[in-house]
Amino acid sequence: FWDDQALGVLAIQTNESFKNQIFNRHHVESVSVVSSGASCGTGKTRHIREELDKIRHQDDSQVASVNIHQGTTIASLVDALARKFPRSAQSNGLHISFTHMFGGEDNLLGRISQFFWSLLVLRGVYDSTSGKSFHLGGGHWHFFVELQALPTNAEEETLSAKEWLEQCIPILAHCGSVMEPSTDFIVDEEARRVSMYLRAYDLGTINRKFEPYHHK
């Protein structure tokens, strides 16, 4: 029986033991959780792609991205991983993006939590309904977990990404590093000149010519 609450307590008590088992024995180089308060436009995906490019340019490497959404099942995750990592490579980069996690099957987050536990601790995931499985090959692994808008209810709206992970996916909270990419952007003179003629909306988009107010 899978008990996420009990797992959370166990993870807190044996945090260092988990890290030692995962990072020292399983050739896992890093587990990075990239999050921000907004769902888009903060540079999360760009940051992860830059890190994946570094891995991609190494000898004998493979990188891939997998999405988790309200229609995701363990079988679909196992199938996607098996297709995108068909061989054993020296350097591996896996980007897992949480998108549109509202709704979906009952206990979806519980199943996703079990998926990450199996992947990181047991180095493999097995789906009993389909009989499919995926196992991490040899080599070194870098995991990047991208959190879009957190799937929360009214009581969880004030939770930080770290607190949300502790409640919903404890293994990521205690073995991963949670980070927010910088939102500082360099604006050169050309971009500054163009922005003078654009109007920014409250929802963060700029898609209309700026119309100055004229006194009548």
Please tell me the predicted confidence (pLDDT) of residue 137.
Answer: 80
Domain range 4-179, CATH class: alpha beta
Please tell me the predicted confidence (pLDDT) of residue 203.
Answer: 55
**What would the DSSP string read from start to end of the chain?**
---HHHHHHHHHHTHHHHHIIIIIHS-EEEEEEE--SSSSSSSHHHHHHHHHHHHHTSSSEEEEEEEE-TT--HHHHHHHHHHH--S--SEEEEEEEE---SS-STTHHHHHHHHHHHHHHSSEEE-TTT--EEE--SSEEEEEEEE-S----GGGTT--HHHHHHHH-HHHHHHSEEE---------HHHHHHHTTEEE-TTS-EEEE-------
Please tell me the predicted confidence (pLDDT) of residue 20.
Answer: 64
pLDDT digits (tens, 9 = 90+) for 157-178: 667 788 888 888 999 988 888 8
Please tell me the predicted confidence (pLDDT) of residue 156.
Answer: 56
pLDDT digits (tens, 9 = 90+) for 5-29: 555 555 545 556 656 666 665 578 8
Mean pLDDT on 72-87: 94
Who wins on pLDDT, 190 or 76?
Answer: 76
By the 10 Å C-beta count (0-12 exposed, 13-18 middle, 19+ buried), 208 is classed as exposed
Who wins on pLDDT, 81 or 21?
Answer: 81
Please tell me the predicted confidence (pLDDT) of residue 214.
Answer: 41
Look at strands 198-200 and 206-209 and give their pairing. antiparallel
Mean pLDDT on 183-210: 61
Cβ atoms of 18 and 25 within 8 Å: the answer is no
Cβ atoms of 176 and 117 within 8 Å: the answer is no
Please tell me the predicted confidence (pLDDT) of residue 131.
Answer: 92
Please tell me the predicted confidence (pLDDT) of residue 60.
Answer: 94
Who wins on pLDDT, 73 or 46?
Answer: 73
Please tell me the predicted confidence (pLDDT) of residue 101.
Answer: 61
For residues 55 and 61, give the distance between their C-alpha atoms in angstroms, rounded to a whole number. 7
pLDDT digits (tens, 9 = 90+) for 96-142: 998 766 555 557 888 899 999 999 888 899 998 889 999 988 889 99
